[in-house]
Amino acid sequence: MSRYVRSSVVGALLVALVPSAATAQSARDAALPEGVGKQTVEAVCTACHKANMITRSSGYSPDHWRELIATMIDLSGDAALQDQIVGYLAANFPPHAKLVPTLVSGPAKVAFKEWVVPTLGQRSRDPIQAADGTIWWAGQFANLIGKIDPVSGKMTEYPLPDGAYPHSVTLDAAGNVWYTGNKNGTVGMLDPKTEKIIVYNMPDPAAKDPHTAIFDAAGILWFTLQHSNMIGRLDPRTGAVKLVTVETPKARPYGIKIDAVGTPWASCNGSNCLIRIDPATMALTEIKLPIPETTVRRLDIAPDGMIWYVNSSQGRLGRYNPETGEIKEWPSPSGKASHPYAIAVVDGIVWYNESRRRPDALVRFDPRTETFQSWAIPSGGIHAGIIRHMRATREGNLLIHQSSTNRIIEVGLTRPAGATQ
């Protein structure tokens, strides 16, 4: 559906009901079935995302298709258009069980608290907690970053310079909010006090897509550039940006974390590797993972120095010991096609999600017992979201999101009785 379209532009969508060549190609690629409303769905729904987002969905009832559409675009002013879209989708894509996760019961308890962000269809993602308890997120498709006061529920959105389309946000020690301009090759900083934005351009035109960023203890910003196949370093004191290219072609560095001694580590979303970055020289060391077909969306680092990662392509959870070189992996409960995506280590427990299940499953792994437990992640009355990043709060909870349904979620974590962590 439309990225961040409000009700005032429904008329513009009606004008768009004659599909463009690109829209038609997208529809052909996804093989939408024939039927009344197909042309409307091709024109309206694939204006912002591929039709395979529909064909690969878990399917919904008419009421749930209507609820999902309402997270992307306000069609309340045109009941006939809405009914045509809902009628076609519900008839051709009813609920099915092909993507249902394998949920594992256990003693741990979680509680989900959801916030629905204001601008429709923005693909809210990558929430992070500030020192004052507020939560910041990236609204990628709406070209904004936002803030939640979790006490009052008040939300504020800040528009970004044209074309940035932030992929992620992070925070510096002073409370400034940094975003990665994934579509215009920039990194930016928002000062929440003045609402002024400083933009840092990449020194190399080949560095087109800053992706995920994190600060080290010295105040240096480290970031990945996935399709540019680069790692970046930005010094806010001077504004200097340095870039280095990953040796393996199309390794696609994605997630990035800093270990206890200040060494950045990145994951490879296009190859079977983890990357260690020398913070002084930016020399890269690739650690090859055992299964050649492995790709790794994200990683996190435990207090004991273990590097935990999601083997996304193989449906596995992995651990790399930097001291010994030992690598161990465990199959995820929902199997090879579950596509683990985001990951965080909280109080020694590993949390991640199975992003190609519906509902998206939140998985808990206890390294001491090597046991799993999992839950269906809510997304209002439907299960349509995807977690693309997760981070811990200072209270030891988990911040996640459902980017397909405009939700930021805090997961309250409760230790099982008798647990020491």
Show me where the domains of the chain are located. Answer: 7-92, 109-414
State residue 50's pLDDT score.
86
CA distance 64 to 339: 24
State residue 419's pLDDT score.
60
CA distance 146 to 117: 8
Low-confidence ranges of the chain (pLDDT < 70): 1-30, 417-421
State residue 30's pLDDT score.
60
User: Which strands sit side by side in the sheet containing 253-258, from one edge to the other?
Assistant: 253-258, 264-268, 273-277, 284-288
State residue 185's pLDDT score.
98
User: Which strands sit side by side in the sheet containing 210-215, from one edge to the other?
Assistant: 210-215, 221-225, 230-235, 240-245
| H or E element in which residue 27 lies | helix 21-30
State residue 3's pLDDT score.
36
State residue 24's pLDDT score.
40
Helix (H, G, I), strand (E, B) or coil at 231: strand
User: Any idea how long the chain is?
Assistant: 421
| H or E element in which residue 55 lies | helix 52-55
CA atoms within 13 A on the CB side of 184: 17
Structure tokens at 324: 């010994």
The strand ranges marked E within 208-339 are 210-215, 221-225, 230-235, 240-245, 253-258, 264-268, 273-277, 284-288, 296-301, 307-311, 316-320, 327-331
| H or E element in which residue 26 lies | helix 21-30
Q: Which residues, in sequence order, are CB contacts of 420 under 8 Å at separation 6+?
A: none
One-letter amino acid for residue 51 of the chain? A
- Residues 341-359 have pLDDT tens digits of 999 999 999 999 999 999 9
State residue 26's pLDDT score.
42
Give the homologous superfamily in CATH for domain 109-414. YVTN repeat-like/Quinoprotein amine dehydrogenase (2.130.10.10)
How many CB atoms are located within 10 Å of the residue 159 CB?
14
- Residues 272-309 have pLDDT tens digits of 999 999 999 999 999 999 999 999 999 999 999 999 99
